[in-house]
Chains A and B, each alone.
Chain A
Amino acid sequence: EAQVTQNPRYLITVTGKKLTVTCSQNMNHEYMSWYRQDPGLGLRQIYYSMNVEVTDKGDVPEGYKVSRKEKRNFPLILESPSPNQTSLYFCASSDDLAGGITDTQYFGPGTRLTVL
């Protein structure tokens, strides 16, 4: 089954404790992205990656890091989480960035993060 998986689904942590949220897709997609969803603000893009070893900042990258060492994985790293990073996080992947027929993003189930 084609899917995007995220782990963990729920996480409660404390300020300053480094954490990683994993994202994996089994569709051989080149494009992957991380979003955070906050009430009234919709989804805001944190980082995206157009291929292995190619990443770029989205609209709200501060406080986050990403890496893309393999095509299928795109982990989100919070080196020193703060309470303002409490949010719902979504990973997504897409199979054609260059204006092809599809250009549709497939979303993971989300990770609800609480930073105390």
Chain B
Amino acid sequence: AQSVAQPEDQVNVAEGNPLTVKCTYSVSGNPYLFWYVQYPNRGLQFLLKYITGDNLVKGSYGFEAEFNKSQTSFHLKKPSALVSDSALYFCAVRDGENYGQNFVFGPGTRLSVLP
């Protein structure tokens, strides 16, 4: 069975500084990896995903993530944080070799960008 860990409940960063939100995963087959963001009182919005190909994935709002197979990680990054990036971020994984497998989400990391 697949699983996702987000080791930090909370990440604080100053505006303009680079940010990293960590994610590690476990899956038996090929990992399909996703990042979603949730703003207050809103549903989840898709940011980016890794299915295959280049290990560095670029997504919405200037975010990017790097797939590292040896470390089973998929950390979310942004070179320069904005106050408006403050939100709850979820990493998710699906086993790409098992049709019908469910998605598994991590517990979420709350990002606070301080002005």
* 20 additional contacts (CB under 8 A) given A59-B104, A99-B32, A103-B51: A41-B107, A42-B90, A43-B44, A43-B92, A43-B105, A44-B105, A45-B105, A50-B100, A56-B102, A92-B44, A97-B100, A98-B99, A99-B51, A101-B51, A103-B49, A103-B94, A104-B46, A107-B45, A108-B43, A109-B42
- A45-B100 contact given A104-B49, A105-B46, A106-B46, CB 8 Å threshold: no
Interface residues of A, CB < 8 Å — how many? 28
- Number of residue pairs A-B, CB distance < 8 angstroms: 62
B48, closest chain A residue (CB): A104
Complex interface bits, A70-104 against B, C-beta within 8 A gives 1, otherwise 0: 00000000000000000000101000011101011
Complex interface bits, B12-35 against A, C-beta within 8 A gives 1, otherwise 0: 000000000000000000001010
- Expressed in whole angstroms, the Cα–Cα distance for A50 and B98 within the complex equals 13
- CB-CB under 8 A from A101, the residues of chain B are 51
- A43-B90 contact given A90-B43, A103-B49, CB 8 Å threshold: yes
Looking at the complex, which one of B43, B99, B100 makes contact with A107 (CB distance below 8 Å)?
A: B43
List A residues at the B interface (Cβ < 8 Å): 4, 33, 35, 40-45, 48, 50, 56, 58-59, 90, 92, 97-99, 101, 103-110
